[in-house]
Amino acid sequence: MGAGKGQAGWRSAIWRRGRRRRTYEVLERDSPQDKLAEKVNYGLIALILVNVLTAVLETVPSMMLREAVLYRAFELFSLTIFAIEYLLRVWVAPENPRYRGLSDARARAIYVRTPAAIIDLIAWLPFVLTMFFGIDLRTLAILRLLRFVKLARYSPGMQSLLEVLHSERQSLIACFWLLAAAVLISASAMYVVEGNVQPEQFGSIPAAMWWAMATVTTVGYGDTYPVTLAGRVVAALTMITGIIMIALPVGIIATAFVDVIKRRDFIITWGMVARVPLFADLDARGIGEIHKALSAHTAQPGELIVRRGDEATSMYFIASGEVALEFADETVVLSDGQFFGEMALMQHARRAATARARTRAMLLMLNARDLADVISRHPEIGERIRAMINDDEGLRAVRHRVDIAVPELPGKGDAADG
């Protein structure tokens, strides 16, 4: 009896862990092919955008949104969804790879202190207090606009920008201090040369700092300006300094942003190459050499990539978009992270299917000749690939991959390309 209860409890724990893992995958969109995760993420994005729009429009007195029943119902619905989202994210925090090895309680305690979790909490908690406890937080209504910040969670570009700001924070802080020094020096110089001439505008260093800030940042409102020759010389030097000061952080952010994008694309591409069974036994150095041989191609919707019956000389990785493999009796659709045509690298054959872009697709192509060049420079890579080709089990592993079009592999079509 006790053993039966213990086994039932074990199954229940496994089931709960599976539900938690699945919830994490949906909320974090762990797989680009997960349709449910895509729908949930787009739904949350739409809800956030509508909330921001209503937060802006409710400040228009003539619309009287705060008195509308529909508005109150929508606000209650939004608060409920955001609260459920927050609680679910706290619940699934132990599934995050960053917290691997920690207890569930410890992982959740760390997560709730992250900036993303704090923003999620602020997005709904103050308004729940207002609604249910009668606390007057109307002056905090601007907090609704913080929901717009939640969009950074769903935007890879925003995440990359935040990563850049964090990684370059020391350089940006140094730029800020240089800017502050330029403002202080310019304001002091203008106080000396213009203080007696325009005491209302430049009668003190703090008063002159308004002009210095507007000039250094190249805004130049024109409400305050020098009238003496010495003052104009100081103003000219301040303008030149301002151009340099503004360009410096822009250059730092732009360069770091490009590096982050390249690094992220490299990691994604590396993962796609490593997933190909033909290269499964290669070490990091070997995969890196294959990665260097890839060439990029952007296919427009409807564009013919390869034609059935043509000689096969290359394989393709799908970085983004969808590609349809059209066989004689069926059509198979591949999407982000999948690949096709790898058998062309193993044996000379004819294409078994026509590949056509369904949407705008970013493709990475590996030509058989490029692979041969890699092998000529690094014979050990060729030895590993040949060993897999000669290994029946290794070849069978290629043929039984489920993330490529099985009919295109040898034995399923009238050619052996893939």
The domains of the chain, with CATH numbers, are 2-154 (no CATH), 169-263 (1.10.287.70), 276-408 (2.60.120.10)
Task: Give the list of residues 6+ apart from residue 129 with CB closer than 8 angstroms, or none.
Answer: 135, 137
Q: What region does 220 belong to: left with phi over 0, alpha with psi -120 to 50, or beta?
A: left
HEC profile of 62-103: HHCHHHCHHHHHHHHHHHHHHHHHHHHHHHCHHHCHHHCCCC
pLDDT in tens, the chain (418 residues): 555 555 666 777 777 888 888 888 888 876 666 778 888 888 888 888 888 888 778 777 777 776 677 877 888 888 888 889 899 999 998 888 778 778 888 989 999 998 888 888 877 777 776 666 655 545 555 666 667 777 777 766 677 777 788 888 898 899 889 989 999 999 999 999 998 999 888 989 999 999 999 998 888 787 888 999 999 999 999 999 988 888 888 888 888 888 777 776 666 666 667 666 666 666 667 777 777 788 878 888 989 988 888 887 888 888 788 899 888 888 888 887 777 876 666 666 678 788 999 988 888 888 878 877 877 877 766 676 666 556 544 444 444 333 333 333 333 333 334 4
pTM comes to 0.54
